[in-house]
A and B are shown apart, each in its own frame.
Chain A
Amino acid sequence: MSDLQLTDWRNHALALESEVNKVVVGQHTPIRLITTSIFARGHVLLEGDVGVGKTTLLRAFTRGIGGGYQRIEGTIDLMPNDLVYHTYLGEDGKPHVSAGPLLMSGENLSVFFFNEINRARPQVHSLLLRVMAERSLSAFNAEHYFPHMIVFADRNQVEKEETFEIPSAARDRFMMEIPIVVPNDDAIMEALVFDTKFHNVDALVDTVKPDVLQFDELNGFSGVIQSNITASDTLKKYALNLWKATKSPLDYGVKVSGVDMNRLVLAGASPRGMSMMLRAARVNAWLNNRTAVLPDDIHAVFHSTIAHRLVFSPVYEMRRTEIAREMLSGIINAVAAP
């Protein structure tokens, strides 16, 4: 029964990917990673410049999986309560309270997009991180649950003024950090500029086939995937070695050009990070019609699940993205399996 279920869901997942790929072109890898995170039930940090299609991408996915989609912009004066409710004077001249973005869709909230999260204050981060971890919120003397919610947050890596860097403990709550970059294919770039279908985002998103997946069944099915996709002893050992290498890369002969490796890493991947990596790897194996995880599956999600968890010496933080990429590539090249 579960084999049939796995096949059926995989067909739907691939159909969803196909639908989103029609709308957001040239982003096959991020789309695969987002699909993976949806089925692994992990939150995602999106990294990319302004106007590369992050919102369109998330709206397209939301339309495909159904459920509510909410979005909030991070600003320096944003307060935690702005996520929960807002007050206004009604036509009757009396103050009114209405639900904020978190509460607006109730339990049907499936995608919550926090744009430019690093512009918001740490108090806001705290609230969001609690919601991410517990998928619940206490407000108006009641407990509100968001069992199907996945948080997508975007951070602006270019501008540093009036921003609050997300601490490593907060970054660790995100399953993945996915880079969204402008495609470098000339034909795609030309289409994005001249093809009028990409000018109207609403109309574009409406072309996605709605409810390809059932958002309220994803939690249950995620468990099916995790219990059906196996990991051999060899793979477990391999994953363990990868983990150790993130803590002591020099022990595995990993070097990064222009970096003192003895001082680089303050903390490697966390146990939560490694378990999230393996969750994502299992989903990747399932999407590739495999019954067990291969090193290839780990490679497919290794950068996106581990890079943002590494804690570097402050002197290297400015070059975090390139150093993490080079170091993790070095680890994959250095650690063998079997």
Chain B
Amino acid sequence: MLGRIRSLAVSQEKIVLLIAVVLFVGFSVFLKGFLSSGNLVTLVRGVAILGILGVGMAIVVIGRGIDLTIVAIYAMSAAWTLQLASLGVSIPAALALGFLLALAAGVINGVLIAYLEIPALFCTLGMASLVYGFVHYALVPLQVVYLPASLNAISWIGGGFVFGAPTPILFFALISFLGFVFLRFTKPGRFIYAIGDNVLAARISGAPVRPIIVLQYGLSASIAYLAGMITATAVSSMNTNVTNSSLVADVILVVVLGGVGLSGGRGGVRNVIVGTLLIGILLNGMTIMNIEYTLQNVIRSLILLAAIVIDSIVNPRDEQTAQQGDI
């Protein structure tokens, strides 16, 4: 039985990959301009941020958590960095303070979840509202913050090119690689899988469960800050309203679609990349087909719905280790 589930879990990733390939081939044949190198770069670049956030989310999801704060941290910490820089704070100090804000939010998440044992879903949902509200109330009064001239020195982060490739794509590649190495080859990475698989067994085996959970959320917050700075420097502004958008659902979408089981312990960075590419191809194709944005949203949501239905069939919830109130 277990073997069958395993093989199915593998096949979900393959199915998604297959769909991506079919769509890619289909769009290449039927959509004019889809296969041009310029469009392909646009395609990947368009979802690079989603992919980076997806890696952060995947680290948490593999440890049987979820981080709904990720988009709030992404938007608000970057916005504060821009705000600080425009107030005349030096670049390193602005970057450091923004990063500390993100890290603090992540660590608070981790502590509340690991030590106070608040369910991750509720904790990060409440923290998203708290982070957004706090930064707006106390630090960044405006909805949209523009990149001040003083930060032009770091505009290469999101707007530069290396060997013709836009830096967001390179950052996506770098984060994916680092995430892969962390999850696959480091001790904390293996502990995350153990915790995601069976938290009680991990605790009994001596894994430092609580510090590792704090680490998960700290990492996802750090990655969110990086993604935020890439976005801010790429489009020369940060719109904090993105916190209230469906971006967080999209991040979950790429993670789940790729085959990272929401019940934890399964999947890896490769799944995130596959999920991200599928979404990228879809969005790009729909844009070329001139489908209006709101309808694209409906289609994306339907795909996400289908993805979690499939996820629950392929990775059924373990009734033995499921907790009462684990919703």
Query: Do A and B come from the same complex?
Result: no
Residues on A facing B (Cβ under 8 Å): none
Residues on B facing A (Cβ under 8 Å): none
